[in-house]
Amino acid sequence: MKEYAPIIEMCLLAVYEKQESAILTICNCAIPSYVMLVEYSKLKERLEDCSEEEKMELWTFANTNFPDKTKQQKIDVCKIVLTIGRLLN
């Protein structure tokens, strides 16, 4: 959706400049998280399509940085991180 383009650009720029701390911020903010999950739904390669190693890396990141989130929230973190990675490539 074109109306999300400025938010996506802002998020990607923040990740480019601040790396992991920006990812943590995006995952903790409702609007950027929502926008990234919308973008995730447009990806050709979904979480299910990733290698087991990549899935474990994503899950470890989510579980380490967000230990108090629910399982579904951690899965969403994985989707957000995957989306950011794909958009930056």
Percent pLDDT > 90 in the chain is 96
Work out the pLDDT band at 3, boundaries 50, 70, 90: confident
Name the region of 19 (left: φ>0; alpha: ψ -120 to 50; beta: rest): left
Q: Is 27 exposed, middle or buried (0-12, 13-18, 19+ CB in 10 A)?
A: buried
What does pLDDT average to over the chain? Answer: 95
Query: What would the pLDDT profile of 23-52 be if each residue is shown by its tens digit?
Result: 999 999 999 999 999 999 999 999 999 999
What average pLDDT does range 59-83 have in this prediction?
Answer: 98
Domain ranges of the chain: 2-88
* SS3 of residue 62 by DSSP: helix
Q: Quick one: pLDDT at residue 1?
A: 53
